[in-house]
Structure 1
């Protein structure tokens, strides 16, 4: 595991595409919007990646913002089960060290096994509902 770098972004998108294809994530972030968001991101402090044979097998990015309940952190992790759990653990620990009162992790239905060991609880299942817009 090492800190991520801005140069990892193309391989991160590759990893995130695999995550969606394998059903571990619901959707891909908008690439242009995410590049703007990450322009000033502190990669050294707030990210980790796991690579094997030049390919990213896992990643975690931690972003935070103020909320009425205090500092809220979002832990965006990707990777297979074992890697995923360890990356989420790292993100939650960073959130705690940074003074976050809440850490949120979004995971596909059924993909949260093992996260209770990180101290996370299922708050609510998310539903995604799609429809065609052809008839509007």
Structure 2
């Protein structure tokens, strides 16, 4: 974002626009990073996402005491841990989480086409200039 802002330029109407190539990079990485972050969260939480109670459990005396006893952690009380796992469930397993995952993957369009387009439009001359002398030395 800083690079996009630092290299911004006015358009034909005087509106300042960020340098799109940096925004495009962030957009192309985001649709890979979000699904990976969700996968990591699922791996860390493991079966705990399935085993947490849904809704409130404090109102049931018998269940509340058992949950407090068996779901508490070393550094976290059961109620806090359950709320944390319920939040993780919303991101990883709920209908809302599934819709958001699709949004993050495809909000900017077809990710394969977007990456290919970024590659095609990238100015490669500077990079070719560094490699070409080395390739010529291999021929000799």
Q: TM-score, normalised by structure 1?
A: 0.20
Bigger Rg over Cα = 2
Q: Specify which structure has the higher proportion of strand.
A: 1
Q: Specify which structure has the higher proportion of helix.
A: 2
